[in-house]
Structure 1
Amino acid sequence: MPSPPITFVIPAYGQWPRTRACLESIAAHVPADQCEVVLVDDCSPDGTVQEASLLGPVLFGERFALLTSEKNRGFATAVNRGARHARGTQLFLLNNDTLLTSNPIPPCLDLLESDPDLAGVGPMLVYADGPDARIQHLGVAVAYGLKCVHLYALFPASHPVARRRRRLQVITAAALCMDRELFLAHGGLHEGFINGMEDIDLCARLAHAGYHFAVSPDAVVVHAEHASSGRFDKEAANDALLHRRAAGLLAPDMAALAAKDGYVLRLTPWLDPHLLPAPERLATLDAAATAEPDAIFLRLEDEPCWPLGYDRLEAAFRNNRDWSRALAAAVRRSAFLPSLDAFHAILELAQKAGDASRAEEASRRIHEIRRRLARPERLRETARNAMFQAREAEDAGLAGALRIWFAEASGTSRPDYGR
């Protein structure tokens, strides 16, 4: 049997219904001559091995391989094992909590082959399919240091930012197409990480070697983010390992990437990054603002980072004592414009709406923010290091955000959001 052009490498640990759906979506959308599938079971506690051994050959015939393990060795080890077993010249790393809704191979390969400096290409990941789809992953931006965030997460998938092609330093390995030999030559995923940050480490090493990454807006995959149990159990250890291995390998790029789309970088008092429309755009939005909730909601679809829009929307629902819709507006605001005020509003409105789960989550978030704010010297040291990095990289956008942060930290009680 001739080698296929691409091998899907899918690590799995339990959650057989998700794995089955993922495999069936590949079979439904990818022609048989374009791929093989290597499923790497990491000692699943359910019936994954038995079920996959029956379903895989039915869906893919000889193009299916099932690798099993007698011990759960983690995501990185499973992916590396699958990559070594693959026969395709290209790998397509794919989480088992994903669903293909079309064939992502041609657009990913076309983009990868169009630029020799690209180490890898990923599809745009969305939370759900359909006209109301929201972006889960459009690439990872580096705010400062190793502070990485998903660029434009929760924006409508139909938003213009989703169509722009960008050179990136980091993308997720939840869906990543790259040359097999390049992957193996750079050591694959570092197996010291436990189910987290392996992809940032890999991308940082390749970015330091002169490569870039990209996301193809013409390839879309549904991703049930964080569906795996215990996803964050080793977060602190993974973060420490990443800092030991990758400190200094990535340059800040969030401000520059955002500026190309008409946004400016801002930082919360606890130094989490977020975006605002550029001042001219913000002034235009504010000047045209109404008090009519439906009109405001539509405008927030066009501009999810509009502060006054959330003020007006939440106020309208509060005036009508529509606590559930006011809560939804406050939650949405917090996703794009995080602040202590936003989380206190969520707590208050969740209590009025009788949403105990949301109230508990808001309380937890408030506690975590206060814990971080209780260490002002640590925050100032982080900000000083970020300012040094901004000057070294000649990153005016990051430097400007930090100057605003220092000014607010020295006495301003409320951020002015750049106005």
Structure 2
Amino acid sequence: MANEIAPFPLKGGAWVADGRRFHLPLLVRLASLRQGTVVMLAVSGVSEPVEIAIEGTERRVTVQPGALEPVEVPPGAARLVLKGERAAIGAARVAYFPVRGQFPLGRVILKLHSFLQGFRNAGEPGADLRQRWIAASDAARHLGFQMAARLASSPLQRQLWLPVYGKYRAQFVGDFAQVVPAEAAPLLLLASPVGASVPSDADLEACAAALRAQTDPAFDWLVAVDPARLERDGARLATLVKGIGRLVPAIGDGETSALAAALAEPEAADRLVGVLDPRGAPTRDAVAMIRATFADRPGLMLLYTDAERRDAAGAPVEGVFKPAFNRHLLESWPYFGALTVVRGARARAVGLRPAFAGAAPYDFLLRYLEGLDAEAVRHLPRIAYSGPDLPAGFADAETGAHAAAALSESLGLPVETTEGGRFLRPLFPVPQDRPLVSIVVPTRDRAELLGMTLRTLIAQTHYRNFEIVIVDNGSVQPETFALFDEVKGLWPATQIVRDGGNFNFSRICNNGVAATSGALILLLNNDIEVIDGAWLDEMVALIARRDHGVDTGVVGAKLLYPDRTIQHGGVIVGLFDYASHWFASCQPEAEGQEGRLLVRQDLSAVTGACLLIRRDVWDAVGGLDPERFPEDCNDIDLCMRVRRAGYNVVWTPHALMIHHESASRGRHRTAEHRARLRQQHAHFEALWASHVFVDPHYNPNLSRVNLFASVGKAPEDARAARGPEVRGAG
């Protein structure tokens, strides 16, 4: 069986003025008849990227040699044109893979193709056909995963998930049935900004209609209108909101004007207050779910909900599913989003600061949260608002700059903007005393791998106050011992700890930690390549943080495979009834769900391949568990115990390394090895109920059998208000 499945070749056709035609097969043309289809294109026989056009359309795509590129084939398309001169592309070949879900029997097609390819390559007609089919299934599964990862970085992904979201929406949006009595919770005061031209009259009318349809009528609606528009169009606007809203002149622009109008209301102190963007509309049960949650939680001070995006025609296209309270994510951008509701009395006491312009609501939010513990902030994982199709992050660079100034004042340190002003990055300082970091590296021979790790660690790392503890688990090769001597010469603060037992990753690491003296402990695999000199400064700065309710116990890094796709962008516990690296194998620049791969964030777990932990936290939770988890689950279990003890686990994209994953032990798993892993997963399930665990930094509306944050077929739990707390099965 070949290691890789060859794509289906396209038949080359005539040369035209700007390139060569390639004919789409009948299978693709039939699949695209109704509403188009998506395929993965591949190009070989060239050394440079090439442009491919779909004949008869304006669609173009650039394909890298040896890479997969998703492309939408519209209805009626029959040919592609490979652009270029004959001399440059004469030897080029174009091929494709069908994308799962776009073709009838798509998965079976790939398996059969893999099976037949393996049969041809092996040239052994008498070989075990069952084994060939198993190998073909494994190859097709791996290819399907690679294509899914590539699609996760593509704008076509949303189109492919639209039918799934449509089915989810039909059942689980607008389905909140409870309506609490008027006296059970304060009335909700909603305030909407109406600018000089936005929203349109039609949008405002639609928002008013949605409010008239609320199942819970215990709310008021304040509409803050740009003074010039109010003078010009006041009578028409009053007609649009008649019986449901009250017009007032706006002071300021946008969300700031709406919030200012709400806080100026004398009765606001006794109300719940939220800003409602009138470019969209609340779901019919929005007021009901918000008031019911405050009725259930007298100490609740802030509630935010999920939302959905609509296209330009007003059709829903995807959900915006948020994590529970996540301080580091909030310090990157105001991910709470639409329909964030606060208590009026505290909001009036905090007040607005117009000097922060478009970021004044963000500044307000930061100051409103000062002194509140996580219990006072809840996330309600239900869609309560359907709004415009806006990307994650701040609206523009100017707003981002104002937000950076607000956050800088809040934290008392410099803050820079990233991604063109969309996100923020606080520049947390490394402690002045530069604590000693004890780097524990378990190994057994494979000197070429270990040498790469240690040499790049020593040569590239800017943070120099570290010691290296190599835990040797039974090396026998002379090259390994020569490397030990070399490293001691390069970095005298190096010691070798001998561990002659069978492979038990947890025991090996624990023995290494026992020999260390640093206040900080870094677990580092022996197949990590350091490429960013500032990686350890970033991790040490984050783990030293003790402010705004943050008490960091563990920090994890962003790791790439050698091909520079993502290996570790954080761990979501509960995926596939255990835990998985979300967005694994995606492109290195992939944004992930709502931009989260681009920013720091709190998570429930990070990989132990590069994991920094405070010594006092290590001692408090007891290190790795060598009895239950000798090979697998040990790092996730450690992080979960750290979280349960009340410490933060933080992932950062600003510490970047390459992980030559499993190169030191190989990828092949025997039946005995698989049995051991199943037993360790069973131990993890017994401790953490992972088959029903919904990670607080994930969302119960997202699939637990998908690495790329796809909406699930149904919610994974009751969708009650939740926080970031982690508890075990017991």
TM-score range, shorter chain: 0.5 to 0.7
- Which residue identity does 1:142 align to in structure 2? V
Determine which of 504, 514, 519 is the counterpart of 1:84. 514
Identity of aligned residues (%): 25
8 Å Cα contact 1:139-1:151 kept in structure 2: yes
Report how far residue 96 of structure 1 moved.
0.2
State the Cα deviation string for residues 300-329 of structure 1 (Å, max 9, x = none).
xxxxxxxxxxxxxxxxxxxxxxxxxxxxxx
- Which residue identity does 1:81 align to in structure 2? N
8 Å Cα contact 1:145-1:250 kept in structure 2: no
- Structure 2 matches for 1:227-238, cutoff 5 A? 227-229=663-665, 233=673, 234-238=676-680
- Which residue identity does 1:111 align to in structure 2? L
Aligned partner of residue 502 in structure 2, secondary structure: coil
- Structure 2 matches for 1:155-234, cutoff 5 A? 155-160=586-591, 161=595, 162-192=597-627, 193-229=629-665, 233=673, 234=676
Q: Mark the CA change 1:149 to 1:33 in structure 2 (over 3 Å): closer, same or farther.
A: closer
Report how far residue 42 of structure 1 moved.
0.8
Name the CA distance, whole Å, in 1 between partners of 2:580 and 2:685.
16
Report how far residue 191 of structure 1 moved.
0.6
Report how far residue 6 of structure 1 moved.
0.6
8 Å Cα contact 1:92-1:176 kept in structure 2: yes
Q: Which range moves more in the overlay, 44-53 or 232-241?
A: 44-53
Report how far residue 155 of structure 1 moved.
1.9
8 Å Cα contact 1:205-1:249 kept in structure 2: no
- 2:483 maps to what in 1? 52
Q: Mark the CA change 1:59 to 1:249 in structure 2 (over 3 Å): closer, same or farther.
A: farther
Report how far residue 146 of structure 1 moved.
4.6
Determine which of 257, 275, 286 is the counterpart of 2:708. 275
- 1:6 maps to what in 2? 437
Unaligned runs of 5+ in 1: 280-382, 396-419
- Structure 2 matches for 1:57-136, cutoff 5 A? 57-61=488-492, 63-103=493-533, 104-115=535-546, 116-128=550-562, 133-136=564-567
Determine which of 546, 567, 570 is the counterpart of 1:139. 570
State the Cα deviation string for residues 124-176 of structure 1 (Å, max 9, x = none).
00113xxx721110110124685311122122222234212221011111100
Name the CA distance, whole Å, in 2 between partners of 1:141 and 1:248.
11
- Which residue identity does 1:240 align to in structure 2? A
Aligned partner of residue 44 in structure 1, secondary structure: coil
Following TM superposition, the consecutive aligned residue runs of length 4 or more in structure 1 with deviations greater than 6 angstroms are: none
8 Å Cα contact 1:16-1:47 kept in structure 2: no
Report how far residue 250 of structure 1 moved.
9.1
State the Cα deviation string for residues 192-223 of structure 1 (Å, max 9, x = none).
22221101111121222222211111110110
- Structure 2 matches for 1:391-410, cutoff 5 A? 391=718, 394=721
Name the CA distance, whole Å, in 2 between partners of 1:177 and 1:114.
13
- 1:286 maps to what in 2? none
8 Å Cα contact 1:141-1:148 kept in structure 2: yes
Aligned partner of residue 684 in structure 2, secondary structure: helix
- Which residue identity does 1:391 align to in structure 2? A
Report how far residue 109 of structure 1 moved.
1.2
Aligned partner of residue 602 in structure 2, secondary structure: coil
Name the CA distance, whole Å, in 2 between partners of 1:69 and 1:213.
29
Superposed CA RMSD in Å reads 3.1
Query: Per residue, is there more strand in 1 or in 2?
Result: 2
Name the CA distance, whole Å, in 1 between partners of 2:718 and 2:604.
19
Determine which of 224, 228, 247 is the counterpart of 2:689. 247
State the Cα deviation string for residues 99-128 of structure 1 (Å, max 9, x = none).
111232111111222354221101100113
Name the CA distance, whole Å, in 2 between partners of 1:108 and 1:153.
21
Name the CA distance, whole Å, in 2 between partners of 1:87 and 1:16.
26
Report how far residue 392 of structure 1 moved.
7.0
- Which residue identity does 2:639 align to in structure 1? C
Name the CA distance, whole Å, in 2 between partners of 1:119 and 1:228.
28
Name the CA distance, whole Å, in 1 between partners of 2:574 and 2:555.
21
8 Å Cα contact 1:112-1:119 kept in structure 2: yes
Q: Mark the CA change 1:72 to 1:55 in structure 2 (over 3 Å): closer, same or farther.
A: farther
Q: Mark the CA change 1:241 to 1:13 in structure 2 (over 3 Å): closer, same or farther.
A: farther
Name the CA distance, whole Å, in 2 between partners of 1:169 and 1:134.
23
- Which residue identity does 1:241 align to in structure 2? H
8 Å Cα contact 1:204-1:250 kept in structure 2: no
Give the greater-gyration-radius structure (CA): 2
Counterpart check, 1:23 vs 2:23: no
Aligned partner of residue 67 in structure 1, secondary structure: strand
Instruction: Give the TM-score, by structure 1 length.
Output: 0.59
Aligned partner of residue 24 in structure 1, secondary structure: helix
8 Å Cα contact 1:41-1:49 kept in structure 2: no
Determine which of 21, 28, 37 is the counterpart of 2:468. 37
Name the CA distance, whole Å, in 2 between partners of 1:258 and 1:220.
26
- Structure 2 matches for 1:309-324, cutoff 5 A? none
State the Cα deviation string for residues 369-418 of structure 1 (Å, max 9, x = none).
xxxxxxxxxxxxxx99x94xx227657xxxxxxxxxxxxxxxxxxxxxxx
Greater relative CO, 1 or 2 (CA 8 Å, sep 6+): 1
Aligned partner of residue 607 in structure 2, secondary structure: coil
Aligned partner of residue 543 in structure 2, secondary structure: helix
State the Cα deviation string for residues 56-77 of structure 1 (Å, max 9, x = none).
212102x000111232351111
Report how far residue 253 of structure 1 moved.
2.6
Aligned partner of residue 14 in structure 1, secondary structure: coil
- Which residue identity does 1:159 align to in structure 2? A
Name the CA distance, whole Å, in 2 between partners of 1:207 and 1:225.
26
Q: Mark the CA change 1:50 to 1:163 in structure 2 (over 3 Å): closer, same or farther.
A: same
Name the CA distance, whole Å, in 2 between partners of 1:87 and 1:50.
24
Report how far residue 14 of structure 1 moved.
2.6
Q: Mark the CA change 1:117 to 1:188 in structure 2 (over 3 Å): closer, same or farther.
A: same
Unaligned runs of 5+ in 2: 1-432, 723-730
Q: Mark the CA change 1:3 to 1:44 in structure 2 (over 3 Å): closer, same or farther.
A: farther
- Which residue identity does 1:247 align to in structure 2? A
Name the CA distance, whole Å, in 1 between partners of 2:456 and 2:640.
31
- Equivalent pairs counted in the alignment come to 275
